[in-house]
C-alpha cells in the first residue's frame, strides 16, 4: 500500500527593508515639492505642474516603501495607511489640473496617514519611538487644518511641527536606516503568529 507523507510548506523569508533608500526617496519628494512652490511663485505654471506630478510620483514610491517596511509591525494597519496615502495622492494629483474641482481636501487623507505611520513607528522596535510621536502629532496637525477656525492663529506652528516630524524621520532613515536585527526579529514574530492563526498549506506525496 502507498503511504502518505505530509510536509508543511516553509514560509518565504521577508524582503529586507530599504531604510536609506526610503529616506532618499523622502528627500527627493521634499526637493520636488519645494521646487514646485518656487516655480509657482515665479508664474512658471507649466513647469510647476510637471514638478508637482514628479513629487507625487516620489510620494507614491515612498508609500510603497513604507508599506513594506511596516508590514512586520501590523500588515493590516500598514495597508490601511498605504490606502490613505494613495487616495491623498490621487486627490492631490487631480488638483493640479485647472479644470478639476476638488470636493475633498488631500489633508483628509494625509492626516490619518501620518497618524498611522506615527503609530507604526511607535509600535516598531527598529525606529526611535520619538519619531512616531512626532509623526502622530503632525497627523493631528494636518487634520486640524480642515477646521480653519482652529488653526487661525496656530497655522505656522502646525506647519513647523509637520515639517519637523517628517524631516526628522527622513534624516534618520538617510543617516541610520532601520535597525535590521530588530526588523528581522519583528518580521519573524509576525510570520510565526500568522502561522499559528492559520492552517498551514500542505503538500501530499505518495510512495509505493
Answer yes or no: is 9 within a domain: no
Residues spanned by the domain of 65: 16-179
Q: How many helices (H) and strands (E) does the chain have?
A: 8, 2
User: How does pLDDT run across 114-142, given as a tens digit for each residue?
Assistant: 999 999 999 999 999 999 999 999 999 99
**The pLDDT of residue 25:** 97
Q: Which residue has the cell 492663529?
A: 153
| Residue 193 clears pLDDT 70, i.e. is over it | no
Task: Give yes or no for a contact between 55 and 84, defined as CB atoms under 8 angstroms apart.
Answer: no
Partnered with residue 205 across adjacent β-strands are 5
Answer yes or no: is 132 within a domain: yes
Answer yes or no: is 70 within a domain: yes
Answer yes or no: is 198 within a domain: no
Cell of 6: 505530509
User: How does pLDDT run across 53-108, given as a tens digit for each residue?
Assistant: 999 999 999 999 999 999 999 999 999 999 999 999 999 998 888 766 677 889 99
Answer yes or no: is 71 within a domain: yes
pTM assigned to the model: 0.83
* Cβ partners under 8 Å of residue 25, min gap 6: 58, 61, 62, 65
The model's confidence at residue 194, banded by pLDDT at 50, 70 and 90, is: low
Answer yes or no: is 28 within a domain: yes
Cell of 46: 507649466
CA angle (195 as vertex; 192, 196 as ends), nearest 5: 90
Domain count, the chain: 1
Amino acid at each position: 500500500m502507498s503511504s502518505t507523507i505530509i510536509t508543511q510548506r516553509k514560509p518565504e523569508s521577508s524582503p529586507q527593508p530599504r531604510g536609506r533608500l526610503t529616506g532618499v526617496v523622502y528627500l527627493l519628494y521634499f526637493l520636488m515639492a519645494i521646487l514646485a512652490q518656487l516655480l509657482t511663485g515665479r508664474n512658471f505654471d507649466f513647469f510647476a505642474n510637471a514638478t508637482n506630478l514628479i513629487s507625487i510620483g516620489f510620494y507614491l514610491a515612498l508609500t510603497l516603501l513604507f508599506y513594506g517596511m511596516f508590514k512586520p509591525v501590523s500588515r493590516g494597519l500598514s495597508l490601511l495607511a498605504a490606502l490613505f496615502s494613495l487616495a491623498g495622492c490621487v486627490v492631490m494629483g487631480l488638483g493640479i489640473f485647472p479644470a478639476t474641482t476638488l470636493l475633498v481636501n488631500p489633508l483628509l487623507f494625509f492626516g490619518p496617514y501620518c497618524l498611522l505611520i506615527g503609530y507604526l513607528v511607535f509600535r516598531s522596535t527598529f525606529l526611535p519611538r520619538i519619531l512616531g510621536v512626532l509623526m502622530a502629532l503632525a497627523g493631528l496637525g494636518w487634520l486640524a487644518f480642515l477646521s480653519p477656525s482652529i488653526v487661525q492663529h496656530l497655522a505656522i506652528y502646525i506647519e513647523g511641527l509637520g515639517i519637523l516630524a517628517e524631516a526628522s524621520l527622513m534624516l534618520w532613515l538617510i543617516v541610520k536606516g532601520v535597525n535590521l536585527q530588530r526588523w528581522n526579529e519583528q518580521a519573524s514574530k509576525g510570520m510565526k503568529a500568522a502561522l499559528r492563526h492559520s492552517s498551514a498549506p500542505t503538500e501530499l506525496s505518495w510512495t509505493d
